[in-house]
Amino acid sequence: MKLGCCFYPEHWPEDMWAGDARRMADMGLSLVRIGEFAWSRLEPEPGQYDWDWLDRAIVTLGDAGLQVILGTPTATPPKWLVDQMPDMVAVDADGKPRKFGSRRHYCFSHRGYREECRRIVNAMAKRYGDNPAVTAWQTDNEYGCHETTVSYSDAAAEAFRVWLAQKYSNVDALNKAWGNVFWSMEYRDFSEIEPPNLTVTEPNPSHVLDYRRFASDEVRSFNQLQVDILREHAPGRDIIHNFMGFVTDFDHHDVGADIDIASWDSYPLGFLEQYWFGVEEKNAYARQGHPDIAAFHHDLYRGCCKDGRWAVMEQQPGPVNWARWNPIPLPGMVKLWTLEAAAHGAEFCSYFRWRQAPFAQEQMHAGLYRPDNVIAPGGEEAAQAAKDLAALGLSDHSDQAPVALVFSYEADWLFQTQPQGHDFRYIELAFEMYSALRQLGLNVDIVSPEADLSGYKMVVVPSLPILTAELVAKIAGLDVPVLFGPRSGSKTADLQIPPELPPGPLQDVLPVKIARVASMRPDMPGNPSRWSEEVEASLGGDAMLEDPQATVFKRNNISYLSAWPTADLLETVFRNMGEDADLTLKAMPPGLRIRQHEGHIFAFNYGSLDCDLQQAFPALQEDQMLVGSVNLQAAGTAVWKV
Ligand code: GAL
């Protein structure tokens, strides 16, 4: 795995560049990403390009032996461009245009803006496409970040109508699919249809789900426009996009299919603080990040591109600026996160950013260097990680894991559209199942519902509301233990209740029928499950696992979980499945996670206390340790050969 950093030559006097480049190389970095926000410097006036500074920056970095990942600057259209076409900005659900003054202020559907993107990307690709120092390209920056996937602009409305006409051919088919007879919502023509915002009460959920699908397709075609140009003018260069953590607003499997490397931006402390985790977990892992956040995304994005190519484009190097609270990582965490990326088979891990900026929005965000150009603790740890990686000498290949967890972006949109219980969060359910598998010491691949599942020894489907008979047959035919989570098979593709009731076609292999469902407030006495289902079962003697809150129904290799599970229930279910599948299971002490990779075991101590690895690996001896020691300190990493 290579190491790199994100660098902004336009932020610093030119006489610093050569020294920066030399110190990057000395630190053990071999990649540098530049350019992704530099539009106002590349084209200060409409049509007047200024490439000279970027030419010199690329030469300076290349001369130091660094490979450049060049970003297209389309996440930050300059002021003159927004003034030229004020309707290019995205419009939020309240109908308010999103203003200039930060970034990502464009609507994916604006055809005029797409033309401007075509122009600037074309100009850049022609100039640097065959530059030997530029070995890869990043398209835009973090599609969807700052809630920018779904826009309610006029441009989006117009594109949505075209999308609908293509999907339904005639408006009667749409009326039927959406059930528009309800509340007199029938349309006479596609031209009458608006985006589903600003309605008096809840809009039609089928309308909303189609809008989410449309918005996702818009991201894909926006990206494809750039990919086509780069393929033409930058042959042989990898095309990469940097995805975000816990952002599910567009289908990353779709965008991943069009690029070469799915990279993501890893900020474990910020993500722990900003997302659904409880106070206890936030406190326990405030300075480490939840032990499964980074790993979950590594495994998710490894499943997004062909050949499993993935990387970390931005790695948190110290405190960030954008979460509600921004602690300093425990000493050791920057190195731990780096080696964890290697343990999951990343091609590279690049830190954000080289030097902390003393100005503008991110002046409180750490870099590998401080603003006074003194190395920061994160920089010291990056140098240490580079040495460890060089000594380990691993390739970036990742073997197929024994367990597949099936992840669907569409499922996430569907449950956001119709949660039925305030806290029915698909991503959280998927994360909890992933975490429970990892607590048993298992390697996990997170894959799309379309993925080839052959070769897996166990399959976990946290929930798949839209199930086809073909998909059920494909999964059931695997003949390995499979678990379907609650609400699987609960909707048709049009977001209607299936005629045979949930779990729809799953009933072909497991005769259960969901008669009613209940969602409950989390603070109700007696700790009810946030989601539970009344099941009519006619299994006739097949195994069942009863828990006070949920029942697991099982026939042959297929199980169905009829509630939001507790951690204990998940442990039991996965242990049973793992034993049926002959997997080696190891209960992890709190905060410890392992991953097997290329004949090595990596252990990561996310706990705040030392951890004796012999608890889980009784035969392990100190002289086997390639990195770390048997008594693994808090925030420590250990590696040994299997
Ligand atoms: C990322 C983004 C970077 C920077 C970073 C700060 O989401 O891609 O440009 O803003 O966050 O943590």
Closest-lying ligand 1 atom to the alpha carbon of residue 316 = 12
Closest-lying ligand 1 atom to the alpha carbon of residue 352 = 5
Residue 230's nearest CA partner among 260, 265, 254, 263 is 260
Contacts of 406 (CB under 8 A, 6+ apart): 447, 448, 449, 451, 453, 459, 460, 461, 462, 464, 475
Alpha carbons 479 and 442: distance in angstroms, whole number: 20
pLDDT digits (tens, 9 = 90+) for 199-243: 999 999 999 999 999 999 999 999 999 999 999 999 999 999 999
In Å, the largest CA–CA distance within the chain is 79
Q: Which residue out of 352, 362, 365 has the highest number of ligand 1 atoms within 8 Å of its CB and is therefore the one to mutate?
A: 352
What's the pLDDT at 83? 98
Alpha carbons 492 and 177: distance in angstroms, whole number: 10
Nearest residue (CA) to ligand 1, atom 5? 352
Contacts of 107 (CB under 8 A, 6+ apart): 88, 89, 90, 91, 113, 151, 153, 155, 156
Nearest residue (CA) to ligand 1, atom 12? 320
Residue 356 in tokens: 């902390």
Alpha carbons 17 and 9: distance in angstroms, whole number: 7
What's the pLDDT at 528? 84
For residue 427, how far is its CA from the centre of ligand 1 (angstroms)? Answer: 22
Alpha carbons 281 and 277: distance in angstroms, whole number: 6
Closest-lying ligand 1 atom to the alpha carbon of residue 141 = 8
Q: Residue 538 above 80 pLDDT? A: no
DSSP alpha helix (H) spans, 64-110: 79-84
Residue by residue, DSSP assigns 290-309 as -TTHHHHHHHHHHTTSGGG-
| Residue 540 pLDDT grade (very low, low, confident, very high; cuts 50, 70, 90) | low
pTM: predicted TM-score of the whole model, two decimal places: 0.98
Alpha carbons 11 and 353: distance in angstroms, whole number: 12
What's the pLDDT at 542? 60
Residue 138's nearest CA partner among 115, 162, 155, 121 is 121
Alpha carbons 224 and 227: distance in angstroms, whole number: 5
Q: What is the mean pLDDT of residues 457-462?
A: 98
Closest-lying ligand 1 atom to the alpha carbon of residue 313 = 8
Closest-lying ligand 1 atom to the alpha carbon of residue 361 = 10
For residue 312, how far is its CA from the centre of ligand 1 (angstroms)? Answer: 12
Q: Which residue out of 103, 321, 322, 326 has the highest number of ligand 1 atoms within 8 Å of its CB and is therefore the one to mutate?
A: 322
Nearest residue (CA) to ligand 1, atom 11? 265
- The residues annotated as belonging to the active site are 142, 314
What's the pLDDT at 549? 63
| Residue 416 pLDDT grade (very low, low, confident, very high; cuts 50, 70, 90) | very high
| Residue 292 pLDDT grade (very low, low, confident, very high; cuts 50, 70, 90) | very high
End-to-end CA distance of the chain: 20
SS3 track for 568-611: HHHHHHHHHHHHHCCCCCCCCCCCEEEEEECCEEEEEECCCCCE
Alpha carbons 493 and 465: distance in angstroms, whole number: 9
The residues pairing with 69 across neighbouring beta strands, listed in sequence order, are: 33, 136
Is the N-terminal amide bond of 590 cis, ω within 30° of 0? no
User: Comparing 168-182, 478-492, 537-551, which segment has the lowest mean pLDDT?
Assistant: 537-551
pLDDT digits (tens, 9 = 90+) for 166-195: 999 999 999 999 999 999 999 999 999 999
What's the whole-number average pLDDT of the chain? 96
Q: Which residue out of 314, 362, 365 has the highest number of ligand 1 atoms within 8 Å of its CB and is therefore the one to mutate?
A: 314
Q: What is the DSSP letter of 182?
A: G
Q: Which residues line ligand 1 (CB under 6 A)?
A: 141-142, 145, 265, 267, 314, 320, 322, 352, 362, 365
Residue 376 in tokens: 């920061």
For residue 338, how far is its CA from the centre of ligand 1 (angstroms)? Answer: 17
Residue 270's nearest CA partner among 333, 324, 340, 311 is 324
What's the pLDDT at 551? 82
- Residue 551: C-alpha distances to residues 1, 476, 639 (Å): 44, 20, 40
Element (H, E) at 197: none
Residue 511's nearest CA partner among 558, 549, 462 is 558
Residue with tokens 């949109």: 413
Element (H, E) at 560: strand 558-561
Residue by residue, DSSP assigns 415-446 as HHH--SSTT--HHHHHHHHHHHHHTTT--EEE
Alpha carbons 6 and 382: distance in angstroms, whole number: 13
Nearest residue (CA) to ligand 1, atom 4? 352
CB 108 within 8 A of CB 149: yes
Nearest residue (CA) to ligand 1, atom 10? 362
Residue 478 in tokens: 């695997």
What's the pLDDT at 468? 93
Contacts of 524 (CB under 8 A, 6+ apart): none
pLDDT digits (tens, 9 = 90+) for 106-120: 999 999 999 999 999
Closest-lying ligand 1 atom to the alpha carbon of residue 270 = 12
| Residue 541 pLDDT grade (very low, low, confident, very high; cuts 50, 70, 90) | low
Is the N-terminal amide bond of 503 cis, ω within 30° of 0? yes
For residue 141, how far is its CA from the centre of ligand 1 (angstroms)? Answer: 9
Closest-lying ligand 1 atom to the alpha carbon of residue 142 = 8
For residue 491, how far is its CA from the centre of ligand 1 (angstroms)? Answer: 37
pLDDT digits (tens, 9 = 90+) for 9-45: 999 999 999 999 999 999 999 999 999 999 999 999 9
What's the pLDDT at 543? 62
Nearest residue (CA) to ligand 1, atom 1? 265
The burial of 95, by beta-carbon neighbours within 10 Å (0-12 exposed, 13-18 middle, 19 or more buried), is given as exposed
Edge-to-edge, what's the strand order for the sheet holding 592-597?
592-597, 600-605, 637-641, 625-627
CB 64 within 8 A of CB 21: yes
For residue 355, how far is its CA from the centre of ligand 1 (angstroms)? Answer: 14
Q: Residue 544 above 90 pLDDT? A: no
Q: What is the mean pLDDT of residues 418-443?
A: 98
Q: What is the DSSP letter of 89?
A: S
How many CB atoms lie under 10 A from the CB of residue 79? 10
Q: What angle do CA 358, 76, 221 make, to 5 degrees?
A: 145
pLDDT digits (tens, 9 = 90+) for 57-89: 999 999 999 999 999 999 999 999 999 999 999
Contacts of 40 (CB under 8 A, 6+ apart): 76, 78, 79
For residue 353, how far is its CA from the centre of ligand 1 (angstroms)? Answer: 9
The number of residues in the chain equals 642
Buried b / exposed e along 495-531 (16+ C-beta atoms within 10 A):
beebeeebbbbbbbbbebebeebebbeeeeeeebbbb
Is the N-terminal amide bond of 353 cis, ω within 30° of 0? yes
How many CB atoms lie under 10 A from the CB of residue 129? 20
Q: Which residue has the higher pLDDT, 141 or 528?
A: 141
Crossing angle between the packed helical segments 333-343 and 377-392, to the nearest 10 degrees: 30
C-alpha 143: how far from chain center: 11
For residue 346, how far is its CA from the centre of ligand 1 (angstroms)? Answer: 19
For residue 176, how far is its CA from the centre of ligand 1 (angstroms)? Answer: 43
For residue 321, how far is its CA from the centre of ligand 1 (angstroms)? Answer: 10
User: Where in 326-400 does DSSP place strands (E)?
Assistant: 348-351
C-alpha 251: how far from chain center: 10
Closest-lying ligand 1 atom to the alpha carbon of residue 36 = 9
Q: Which residue out of 103, 141, 142 has the highest number of ligand 1 atoms within 8 Å of its CB and is therefore the one to mutate?
A: 142
